[in-house]
Structure 1
């Protein structure tokens, strides 16, 4: 160990590239997009640093051009899961014993590589494989992932620095051990940054990890794994194991060495995981840490004093950026009757200007949803609204999967505040609006609070400060990330720690010190410099 205290530089958020016409950044990214589109690759599992090919394969396609195959990837089965657990446990002692400054140096180097030479690789892979526009990819797979690497490294040093009080005759210390076993990281398709964060934040703290990427994001996630390897991540610390979630989970949850789960995905899957862990609790060496961010039915609640121009921008960006496939996306809105007619006219005018298509055309605001399953699910909600006498579709509603999985930005107006599309998570470009009477503000706020089982994000719009105070008070538990006069999406690492409660997860705030604490197992140490030599206490001298 080094005979010095080391400080990690306090990070600043990674600047966002604009990719303006004629810029070198745009030129390099366009070249990388073309290269990836034209060169199909094979993606192996990576276990103990070795590339494993199982022969059981699936394909990575382009959602906005579904006939275009980017890669063929191999999938893990029982044999490979057992191999990955063994590889992780074999390297665990060496990894957790590595001086923390050397562990963190790997991830800080990964951040630097991603901010430079790897930026176009990861962004292009995300744009093609997940149908993200250039801006949505840039803020996700470049900037946010860089921020996760840098800020989490910094937060870990802050935790290590926190120590208890000591006395003149005793030195009290706390060491922050990793968990005893391996972490199972299960990552989603919609954010490459989350996919990169979920396995690396535990690894920074000295844990070893099995990483199961989403089947619809294997392409970009593979390049994140290769980035980590180039940054110097030792073999076996993170093991990359694409495959079917049910099959992989069956063997992972059966291992006595399961120490934690880091998950982002559906509420139903997370609840099943939690139940399975509970049923197996007696076989584990420790109580597994369960950290999850699941779903949302995120709201925009509007007071009649709201500024309509900023509201419209927030509604469009909040509901339709990345095709509404953000767990934070605005999915329901409550609008006062007195401003509805003006808002409706201007909102529809703005939505009519939205362009949708191939992400390689930088003039497009939206692209395709992720796959056929998502397309069919979102379409079923739109059809439900079309056939209901409680709802009216005032724009959009058309779905076309002939070339890619395209769904128009859709706005539904309902007379029922507990209509299906006001309650259930859709995960697509569908916004449902309920118009309330101005004198029923309090009642409607309570409806907003009670309608959905989720509690992830929410936004309120008002210029009246008294109204803002009231709205925030009533909606106090309705969102883990709460926005005032802003859209409910776009949390930034180091600025708005992200996560929600209720059916939206454990609210352990990704990209914060709170999350890093979950991957540590403290040991309290007391060293006595002057221990007693007699068991008797002074009070025992009573005459």
Structure 2
């Protein structure tokens, strides 16, 4: 762990398992409430001086850290692949994305503007200042174990906050690699602290300690709701990026080659283990057979295996529980009438938590796979007839994070972007996420935004100032 500028050892260790081989790839020291409290105190002390630096000076440090990350891009990428299974080429892209968030927020730190308001009374000067909220607690997931750190800490540090980070238990070494870059980049001690260990005790300390002014979390909706309840005790601000159940809508006028390639990218990257993965593919009835056949042919050729091999396109699921969840959804779907077009089972004869890339046809809205996030490499195809019908069905979920729509009708595109109840909509675009745009969801998919100026302001308070001038 990294607390107050020092690497900390404890009396306890945990083993890290490679999901592609089921072999031990390392072990890390772990802590709990005691280490979390120490980290919060360190962040509290560092906040006094960090907030007083100019945005320009804070930004220069963030840009330097981004450069340090890119110097060791290959090393960090290998750590990602060994800890959570992502193909090495995708892992390298994630590292580059992580650096891009720090670079963008490093530049944006100098552009935190306030407002001057017109006063009704000419003897008054009215202003709005934007200032950092204080110490923040950040909890990050395993599926993007590097970029999720910088997407949270980048804007927080740029705003002038200090931070305590708890990474996912599956990917602690990824977080350690990032914090080594923080150290080499010259981040002052205590500004960012890393606590690895028991989720309950560390999370409870974050939400119960009145020093912590904001919680930012990416993970399941269930855990997000728990954190929100706990955070209410001290009226902490929260940003929650929670579960998703993204619809992918294909109209009959869409470019089918483009739509099929985009489903591959949004469904099977990271073995379907992302919150913005396609979960429900709605295909207009007139093209269902052609689309299904094309998709199945492409999916069948995907090369699955240990992500350390350069030509691997899909790696394993994160653990045995994840594998069992995917198996259960497919089994229940087929028992209810769905048909397997390709895949449909775990890959046998090899170690690791591998499930074959799968396409299901004849799926219906009453099946479990239509209602629950899969978080695995299964693409269920549903059919629809009309635009109004598919809008209602796509929106009929408590989730509202990402949605995709493929059509060459401009008017329809505009109607869809307004009527899909999702925080993000990709129209003919399977990869819309960029550092300078807001990322976040509606409904039970979360609160707040990451990325862009919206993400920066999530870590700031607005302070209104009224100055009454004296008479001459």
What is the distance in 2 between the residues matched to 1:389 and 1:372?
24
TM superposition shift of 1:413: 2.1
Q: Is 2:380 the counterpart of 1:428?
A: no
316, 339, 342: which one aligns with 1:395: 342
418, 439, 446: which one aligns with 2:392: 446
What is the distance in 2 between the residues matched to 1:224 and 1:288?
26
Q: Is 2:466 the counterpart of 1:520?
A: no
What is the distance in 2 between the residues matched to 1:295 and 1:365?
24
The alpha-carbon distance between structure 1 residues 49 and 464, as it changes in their structure 2 partners (threshold 3 A), is same
> What is residue 486 of structure 1 aligned with on the other side?
429
Question: Does the Cα contact within 8 Å between 1:196 and 1:221 map onto a contact in 2?
Answer: no
Q: Is 2:22 the counterpart of 1:66?
A: yes
TM normalised by structure 1 equals: 0.82
> What is residue 163 of structure 1 aligned with on the other side?
115
- Partner SS for 2:405: strand
**Paired positions, count:** 468
Question: Does the Cα contact within 8 Å between 1:126 and 1:141 map onto a contact in 2?
Answer: no
Q: Is 2:424 the counterpart of 1:463?
A: no
- Partner SS for 1:164: strand
What is the distance in 2 between the residues matched to 1:173 and 1:390?
63
TM superposition shift of 1:335: 0.9
> What is residue 321 of structure 2 aligned with on the other side?
373
TM superposition shift of 1:302: 1.4
The alpha-carbon distance between structure 1 residues 472 and 88, as it changes in their structure 2 partners (threshold 3 A), is closer
59, 73, 77: which one aligns with 1:123: 77
> What is residue 498 of structure 1 aligned with on the other side?
439
Q: Gaps spanning 5+ residues in structure 2: where?
A: none
TM superposition shift of 1:383: 2.3
TM superposition shift of 1:203: 2.1
Question: Does the Cα contact within 8 Å between 2:449 and 2:458 map onto a contact in 1?
Answer: no
The alpha-carbon distance between structure 1 residues 165 and 250, as it changes in their structure 2 partners (threshold 3 A), is closer
Give runs of aligned pairs for residues 120-269 of structure 1, distance below 5 A: 120-142=74-96, 144-159=97-112, 161-165=113-117, 172-180=126-134, 182-191=135-144, 192-269=146-223
TM superposition shift of 1:474: 3.2
Question: Does the Cα contact within 8 Å between 2:3 and 2:38 map onto a contact in 1?
Answer: yes
- Partner SS for 1:326: coil
Q: Is 2:16 the counterpart of 1:76?
A: no
Q: What do residues 35-66 of structure 1 show as CA deviations (whole Å, max 9, x unaligned)?
A: xxxxxxxxxx1111222222221122221111
224, 228, 243: which one aligns with 1:270: 224
What is the distance in 1 between the residues matched to 2:377 and 2:441?
21
The alpha-carbon distance between structure 1 residues 373 and 255, as it changes in their structure 2 partners (threshold 3 A), is same
What is the distance in 1 between the residues matched to 2:294 and 2:44?
59
Question: Does the Cα contact within 8 Å between 1:454 and 1:501 map onto a contact in 2?
Answer: yes
> What is residue 47 of structure 2 aligned with on the other side?
92
Give runs of aligned pairs for residues 351-366 of structure 1, distance below 5 A: 351-366=299-314
Question: Does the Cα contact within 8 Å between 1:186 and 1:198 map onto a contact in 2?
Answer: no
Q: Is 2:280 the counterpart of 1:313?
A: no
Q: What do residues 334-373 of structure 1 show as CA deviations (whole Å, max 9, x unaligned)?
A: 1122111212222211112111011222111111111222
What is the distance in 1 between the residues matched to 2:306 and 2:193?
33
What is the distance in 2 between the residues matched to 1:465 and 1:485?
11
Q: What do residues 394-422 of structure 1 show as CA deviations (whole Å, max 9, x unaligned)?
A: 21112147511111111122342232101
TM superposition shift of 1:448: 1.5
Q: Is 2:5 the counterpart of 1:53?
A: no
Give the alignment's Cα RMSD to 1 decimal.
Answer: 2.0
The alpha-carbon distance between structure 1 residues 336 and 522, as it changes in their structure 2 partners (threshold 3 A), is closer
Q: What do residues 414-450 of structure 1 show as CA deviations (whole Å, max 9, x unaligned)?
A: 34223210111111111111122x3x43223211111
What is the distance in 2 between the residues matched to 1:413 and 1:405?
24
What is the distance in 2 between the residues matched to 1:461 and 1:235?
48
The alpha-carbon distance between structure 1 residues 470 and 95, as it changes in their structure 2 partners (threshold 3 A), is closer
What is the distance in 2 between the residues matched to 1:454 and 1:327?
10
Q: Gaps spanning 5+ residues in structure 1: where?
A: 1-44, 534-543
TM superposition shift of 1:169: 6.2
- Partner SS for 1:97: coil
- Partner SS for 1:532: coil
TM superposition shift of 1:100: 2.8
TM superposition shift of 1:196: 2.5
TM normalised by structure 2 equals: 0.94
What is the distance in 1 between the residues matched to 2:131 and 2:418?
39
> What is residue 358 of structure 2 aligned with on the other side?
410
Question: Does the Cα contact within 8 Å between 1:323 and 1:369 map onto a contact in 2?
Answer: yes
